[in-house]
Chain A
């Protein structure tokens, strides 16, 4: 069972209170971008075995979107953080490094 803490309202709850929203930190590509960029933005996914960054919504709570760093193999949650960020906070990255020295995910490490 997955337990997440919403960084917006501070509530800690079981996964049925939340809604998973797919991969986080996708860079938007719109008009003027190349076909490859637009294709990757829409379809290409990391889908990693291990560290993953994803979007969640506190659907049955405050209703806000936030981001989570989670391990898709152990289901360990490294931390949750506000959606208004371009990069995971350092303390979450440190926690991941303690488990997976040398990890990378897109441009993060």
Chain B
């Protein structure tokens, strides 16, 4: 792999950019791999990367039914934060956030991580208490957050309307080291690094069946033929229920669309991320100048990658209350992604009823922020059958009633 650098840009500028090579290879699938990952989203690719980098397992294929990063990884609003409530969440989200700080250097790929700060508005007394509690929990977990005053909110976000009309801003939970990153680049950077380690990223290859013998996985059937493997990782987000069914088990997961939209590009007006959970909307400004806006999920199971119109209406209504200036903005695009939601709003990183099948799912509306940490932990689980980061997130927590309740921290979809 040729490294990207300022020098490479200068060199290519002098020779009409004829020397750039493909970022990753598109190989034909082999008959067998030591490990197969289903799903080339951020979590699948990061898992493969750390399998190679941390555990020396490089005989790996990542199978993707569409194009890499074409699932939720390329559809999210890119918010990265780690101010969750429970200790196991703080551990994995903070691991991810801290890896994001150096991931561009590590992958030699600029993911444009921008720790611009994320603020979660408190607009009811209930929310004030909830976020004060989270700030205390974060202090104990070593995650730096603070509860800030309305005056400080206004200082950080001059375009905000503090006085309501329905819900005045009473304060906010502020994480200064949180922020955003370029979502596609995260998938592309990991894919390039995996390809460089000799792994196969195979696109347009849908898994249609899972083979097992004596309760143990032996391989998968795909639209490009059968492929054998010793270990299988299922990392398919909204499609988890579908793929789990191929392996013969059901999950505590429902799949629903989550929507987002972006405006026409405008001059810089807001340099932090603002989330308003009570009125249900959140917004940041991309480097191109578009206002990136996230909305809500449908209440019913739905695989259409569109979502219901009234959610967009609710989100936009909420944003106009909070940021009156957006009422004049034209919206450019709207889309949806199928998110995999668990009852306790926490992910599943687990062994499964089938030996050597592992599953990483349930990130729901908020897993972009977790990609590096999840890949780190899940790779360890796949390599060693045991990983401290994943321990609390096993499937058995539902049977045992050990929920990791993040319904407050994840109250709005992000």
A interface residues with partner B (beta carbon < 8 Å): 1-2, 15-16, 19-20, 22, 35, 39-40, 42-49, 52, 54, 70, 72-73, 75
Residues of A near B239 (CB, < 8 A) are 49
Secondary structure call for the A interface? mixed
Chain B: interface residue total (CB-CB under 8 A): 23
Q: Name the residue of chain A whose CB is nearest to the CB of B341.
A: A47
B interface residues with partner A (beta carbon < 8 Å): 239, 241-242, 245, 250-255, 298-304, 308-310, 343, 398-399
Residues of B near A39 (CB, < 8 A) are 398-399
Contact between A72 and B302 (Cβ–Cβ < 8 Å)? yes
Contact between A45 and B309 (Cβ–Cβ < 8 Å)? no
Q: Name the residue of chain B whose CB is nearest to the CB of A68.
A: B300
Residues of A near B252 (CB, < 8 A) are 43-45
What are 9 contact pairs spanning A and B, CB under 8 A? A2-B308, A16-B310, A35-B399, A45-B241, A45-B253, A48-B245, A49-B241, A70-B300, A75-B304
Residues of B near A35 (CB, < 8 A) are 399
Residues of B near A54 (CB, < 8 A) are 300-301
Contact between B251 and A75 (Cβ–Cβ < 8 Å)? no
Given contacts A20-B300, A39-B399, are A47 and B343 in contact (CB under 8 A)?
no
Q: Name the residue of chain A whose CB is nearest to the CB of B304.
A: A75
Residues of B near A45 (CB, < 8 A) are 241, 250-254
Residues of B near A48 (CB, < 8 A) are 241-242, 245, 301
Q: Name the residue of chain B whose CB is nearest to the CB of A73.
A: B303
Given contacts A1-B308, A39-B399, are A44 and B250 in contact (CB under 8 A)?
yes
Q: Name the residue of chain B whose CB is nearest to the CB of A38.
A: B399
In the assembled complex, the CB of A104 is this many whole angstroms from the nearest CB of chain B, namely 11
Given contacts A2-B308, A42-B398, are A47 and B253 in contact (CB under 8 A)?
yes
Given A43-B252, A47-B254, 8 extra CB contacts under 8 A: A1-B308, A1-B309, A22-B254, A42-B398, A48-B242, A48-B245, A48-B301, A49-B241
Given contacts A1-B309, A15-B308, are A44 and B302 in contact (CB under 8 A)?
no
In the assembled complex, the CB of A58 is this many whole angstroms from the nearest CB of chain B, namely 14
Given contacts A39-B399, A45-B241, A73-B304, are A15 and B253 in contact (CB under 8 A)?
no
Residues of B near A73 (CB, < 8 A) are 303-304
Q: Tell me, in angstroms, the Cα distance from A81 to B254 when the chains sit together.
A: 22
Contact between B303 and A49 (Cβ–Cβ < 8 Å)? yes
Residues of A near B254 (CB, < 8 A) are 22, 45, 47
Q: Tell me, in angstroms, the Cα distance from A45 to B245 when the chains sit together.
A: 11
Q: Tell me, in angstroms, the Cα distance from A46 to B303 when the chains sit together.
A: 13
Contact between B301 and A47 (Cβ–Cβ < 8 Å)? yes
Q: Tell me, in angstroms, the Cα distance from A14 to B294 when the chains sit together.
A: 23
Contact between B308 and A46 (Cβ–Cβ < 8 Å)? no
Q: Which of A1, A15, A20, A43 contacts B343 (CB 8 A)?
A: A43
In the assembled complex, the CB of B66 is this many whole angstroms from the nearest CB of chain A, namely 15
In the assembled complex, the CB of A36 is this many whole angstroms from the nearest CB of chain B, namely 8
Given contacts A15-B310, A45-B241, are A2 and B301 in contact (CB under 8 A)?
no
Residues of B near A43 (CB, < 8 A) are 252, 343, 398-399
Q: Tell me, in angstroms, the Cα distance from A10 to B125 when the chains sit together.
A: 41
Q: Name the residue of chain A whose CB is nearest to the CB of B240.
A: A47
Residues of A near B303 (CB, < 8 A) are 49, 72-73
Given contacts A1-B309, A15-B308, A75-B304, are A46 and B299 in contact (CB under 8 A)?
no
Residues of B near A72 (CB, < 8 A) are 255, 301-303
Q: Tell me, in angstroms, the Cα distance from A106 to B303 when the chains sit together.
A: 19
In the assembled complex, the CB of B36 is this many whole angstroms from the nearest CB of chain A, namely 21
Contact between A2 and B300 (Cβ–Cβ < 8 Å)? yes
Contact between B250 and A40 (Cβ–Cβ < 8 Å)? yes
Contact between A47 and B300 (Cβ–Cβ < 8 Å)? no
